Amino acid sequence: MKTTVQLQALEQESVPAQQVQLTPEGNLFLDFGKAAFATLILPARSGNWVVHLGEQLTAAGRLERKPAGCIRYLRIEQTGNPEGETRIQIPVDERNTGPAAIPMPAEIGEVFPFRYVEIEDGEGVDASAVKQVRVHYPFDDQASAFHSSDPVLNAVWDICKYTIKATTFCGVYVDGDRERIPYEGDAYLNQLSHYCVDQEYDLARYSHEYLLQHPTWPTDWQLHSVLMAWADYLYSGERASLEMFYEDLCVKSLIDLAGKNGLISTESEHCDVEFEKRLHMHGETFIVDHGIRDLVDWPPGSFTDGGTGERDNHEMVPINTVVNALHAHALRLMSKIAGVLGKSEDQQRFSLQADKVTTAIQQELFDEVKGVYVDGVGATHASLHSNMFMLAFDLVPDAKKSGVVDFVKSRGMACSVYGAQYLLEALYLNHEGQAALELMNAQHDRSWWNMIEAGSTMTREAWDLKYKTNLDWNHAWGAVPANILPRYVLGVRPLEPGFRKVLIQPQPGSLKQVSGKVPTLHGPVKVSYEREESGTRTVKVELPDNVEARFEMLQAKEGVQILGPGTHILVFE
């Protein structure tokens, strides 16, 4: 595989149990505080060890041995070592070690996601010698911080940040433990969040470059490769990957599928096997036997009652609004990438095509009577997705924004944990921070708090079992607030590649206090906000050397201010 990255080795971190007790049956029960992809170290013992590992407790507070979905449980019997410690050997699972899965390094061996351990015949076992050995990519826990006056929001930040650390166990972004396969859409969300919780760019770039050469099947995901490439350049300032994979990115823009008006469809005569080969599909690790297909959101159905799943009843027609919104955005980014690389003809070509697609979307996909975007050419239904993607990519003309924003707000969280990325971005980019905040600190069953209340310490693959009956409890694409809170509540986003110039545009909504630390190449950007009872708002900004900020407090008469390195205190009446 071609790559511009030399990754660091995975780390192994030994963690003692936080709680220990003896069960009535004489088993030793240990709680390690958080689930992790790990194995277990046990003290010296003659005879066999019988251990039970799992992520979930029963209502009675015991280890759940028959969990639903893909929540994990494992029983292992292994011969002990009377002269020293025993490292439990995790068996290979057929579900996550297929040809498309990322294998664990041989020197580390298999791992298993667990928080709880039950050791049979545990009386007399030295619990202090039992260790959970967590495996993850090197991670600086102190690189980022977030705290607010809302304890629910703080808990959401904590689970999302930890998820980004814990799910790096394979040395490439994967979709949790059920498959351990990289997917472009998952990886893009993972990438944005990783940038916001650690000053680390190599793992995201490696994952992106891997996926360029080992793609998955959704149309939407091909386009996400362009989004990943631009995010890598914007945050790291490195252009080597853009140069090496430029031709691949051109194909990933799907410009070759354009019809006369610029809109694309997988039913185009140009979407044939030869084109898919140019996308590097049909290789040894390709995970399905069909070609490229539109996704919109996942899962498409409830898996239990034939329902419409997380697509908000999106009408799946050949020329799809969501896919074409992604396409228009990818074309704009390709124009920027071509400009960075000095390819002026391509820069103009992609820019003109982006304008053409955007015009066609307005002409063919906007319903003037309803005042919203329908789901595609010939569709009559308008989903949340068709409208939130248009807003998130700034494709909606000013005259139409108000109605589209109102429609998006009216739908609530009618999307998956993946779709939440674009729903929240759509709201924040249109200055609807309070509506977005209320989605992030919500306590219903389509919320991050619901994941916490269920007992998970990593974000889940879906909002709840009833929305995806085979969900797992260790999916990084569910950790969207890890990037939304720093980028939009604190408001810290790069304006120039490598973070030489940064935007700081806080949107705290009803929060009385919020503060945080956002990593950049040049050091952390720190922002704190406090609103007094009188209504006076105070913002403190700390910028590292060589970083200039464009500061804007929305709805403040002072407007835009330019800040240099150092500490700044700004007061708004």
The pTM assigned to this predicted structure is 0.97
Segments in 377-499 forming alpha helices (H): 384-392, 398-410, 419-429, 433-440, 448-454, 481-484
- From the list 423, 354, 419, 336, the residue with the least C-alpha distance to 388 is 423
Interatomic CA distance for residues 226 and 106, integer angstroms:
33
d(CA 526, CA 310): 36
Please tell me the predicted confidence (pLDDT) of residue 283. 75
State residue 555's pLDDT score: 79
Distances (CA, A) of 84 to 50, 128, 268: 17, 15, 64
Q: Which CATH number fits domain 501-572: 3.40.50.970, 2.60.420.10, 3.30.450.40, 3.30.450.20?
A: 2.60.420.10
Distance CA 537, CA 531 (A): 4
Q: With 0-12 CB in 10 A as exposed, 13-18 as middle and 19+ as buried, what is 388?
A: buried
Task: Identify the pLDDT of residue 307.
Answer: 56
Torsion, Cα 416 417 420 421, to 10 degrees, reads -130
Parts of the chain belonging to CATH 2.60.420.10: 501-572
Q: Please report, for residues 12, 32, 79, 87, the alpha-carbon distance to residue 76 in angstroms, rounded to integers and kept in the order given.
A: 21, 18, 10, 12
Pair type for strands 501-504 and 548-552: parallel
User: What integer pLDDT is reported at residue 290 of this predicted model?
Assistant: 76
Residue numbers of the chain with a pLDDT score lower than 70: 285-289, 302-308
Structure tokens, 536: 């006076």
As a dihedral over the C-alpha atoms of residue 101, residue 451, residue 193, residue 116, rounded to 10 degrees, the angle is -60
- What is the end-to-end Cα distance of the chain in Å, rounded? 57
User: Among residues 212, 190, 174, 178, which one has the least CA distance to residue 417?
Assistant: 190
pLDDT tens-place string over residues 4-52: 999 999 999 999 999 999 999 999 999 999 999 999 999 999 999 999 9
Q: Angle at Cα 327 formed by Cα 323 and Cα 331, nearest 5°?
A: 175
The candidate with the shortest Cα–Cα distance to 501, out of 545, 433, 564, 548, is 548
Residue 550 · residue 503 · CB < 8 Å: yes
Q: Please choose, from the candidates 101, 96, 113, 102, the residue with its C-alpha nearest in 3D space to the C-alpha of residue 40.
A: 113
Instruction: With CA atoms as reference, report the closest residue to 365 among 318, 398, 429.
Output: 318
Q: Are 407 and 399 in contact (CB under 8 A)?
A: no
382, 370 contact by CB (below 8 A): yes
Residue 65: what pLDDT?
98
Q: How far is it, in rounded angstroms, from Cα 517 to Cα 368? A: 44
The answer to whether 199 and 520 are in contact (CB under 8 A) is yes
CATH for 11-136 is 2.60.120.260
Helices vs strands, H then E, count in the chain:
15, 19
Cα 336-341-346 angle, rounded to 5 deg: 60
Burial code of 1-26, b = ≥16 C-beta within 10 A, e = fewer?
Answer: eebbbeeeebeeeeeebeebeeeeee
Domain with CATH 2.60.120.260 in the chain: 11-136
Backbone angles phi, psi at 282, to 5 degrees: 70, 20
Neighbours of 260 (CB within 10 A): 7
β-sheet bridge partners, residue 218: 293
CA dist list (Å): 227 to 193, 235, 329, 331: 14, 12, 8, 10
